Structure 1
Amino acid sequence: MKLKKLTPNLIVSDIPQTVNFYESVLGFELKMLVPDTQDGMDVKMDASKTYVYAQMAKDEVELMFQREDSFREDIPLSIKELSMGGLSAIYIEMSSVDDFYAEVKGKTENVTEPKNSWYGMREFFVKDPDGCVIAFGEQVEVEAS
């Protein structure tokens, strides 16, 4: 057995709002959408449709987004007591974190300034419209003490 890939599925309240945020603020590209009729897939947003799922990508990173009611319907586990967003976080390792921060900082108020951590990463954090925290980090040299 070999694990091949991990793609987070973030639970959201509004697919068009989420797609807009990840496109305009973080530079992700829309790959596909599933309407609530679940009778096919779209590659572009159609304002006359209501969507329950989207897939987006930037470079080698892929993310899935699913509307909360659709997720609860699809997953047959006892998840009724779980709340959406809040404690969700993902970490994306990248190169040129400062350049990417410069692109993002004027597009949302929910962003921290890049800082070097004690564990050797230069990172900043963004909060999306549903409260999920996305960390962007780049490995840096740690000064020996």
Structure 2
Amino acid sequence: MTITRATPVLMVDDVGRAVAFYCDILGFAFVVGVLESSRETVAVWPAPGPLAFALVECGQARFMFETRAALAGELPRFAETKIGGSLILYLDCDDLDALYARLSERTPFLKAPHKTFYGTRECSFQDPNGYVLTFAEAVAQTTTPPETPA
């Protein structure tokens, strides 16, 4: 077996609010949604009504958002599960400084851009539902050429 993609499903109170944050603030694209009232699928954003489910994507990253009611209807254990939580959505990006500059006026950061001991620069913030997103950019490794004997 080969896993070809992982797409987290994030439980949220308001799918439309989550989509607006990810699309309008982070630059994700709306792919599809399901209206709460009719279970009709929609492919336009903003949607013509409250959503029970939505899928957004940016590059290789995809997230699904689903209301507690919709998730609990399929898996009852979600009826009492806390929204937000103890996971970090770790996203590789190609211009951390531009991302930070663009977002720092619109959302509070938990951690500003910093270099890690494992060769990345990262910054973290919390989305409106309490999920933590960490954006990371690889740091160019510089190597010192070996000394040549005199």
TM-score bracket for the superposition, by shorter chain length: 0.7 to 0.9
Paired with 2:80 and 2:106, the residues of 1 have a C-alpha distance of 33
- How far residue 101 of structure 1 moved from its aligned partner, in angstroms, is 1.4
CA contact (8 A) 1:28 1:58 kept: yes
Q: What RMSD over aligned residues (CA atoms) do the two structures have, in Å?
A: 2.1
Paired with 1:46 and 1:60, the residues of 2 have a C-alpha distance of 23
Alignment match, 1:24: 24
The alignment's TM-score, normalised by the length of structure 2, stands at 0.83
Larger Rg: 1 or 2? 2
Corresponding residue SS for 1:114 = strand
Alignment match, 2:124: 125
Corresponding residue SS for 1:72 = helix
Paired with 1:14 and 1:110, the residues of 2 have a C-alpha distance of 22
Runs of 4+ in 1 over 4 A off after TM superposition: 141-144
CA contact (8 A) 1:24 1:107 kept: no
Higher relative contact order (CA 8 A, sep 6+): 1
Query: Structure 2, unaligned stretches of length 5 or more?
Result: 144-150
Counterpart AA for 2:70: S
Instruction: Provide Cα deviations, 1:99-122, integer angstroms capped at 9, x if missing partner.
Output: 211121111124531011112220
Alignment match, 1:6: 6
Alignment match, 1:67: 67
Corresponding residue SS for 2:40 = coil
Q: How do 1:58-137 residues align onto structure 2 when only pairs under 5 Å count?
A: 58-75=58-75, 78-137=77-136
Alignment match, 1:52: 52
Counterpart AA for 1:73: G
Paired with 1:86 and 1:65, the residues of 2 have a C-alpha distance of 14
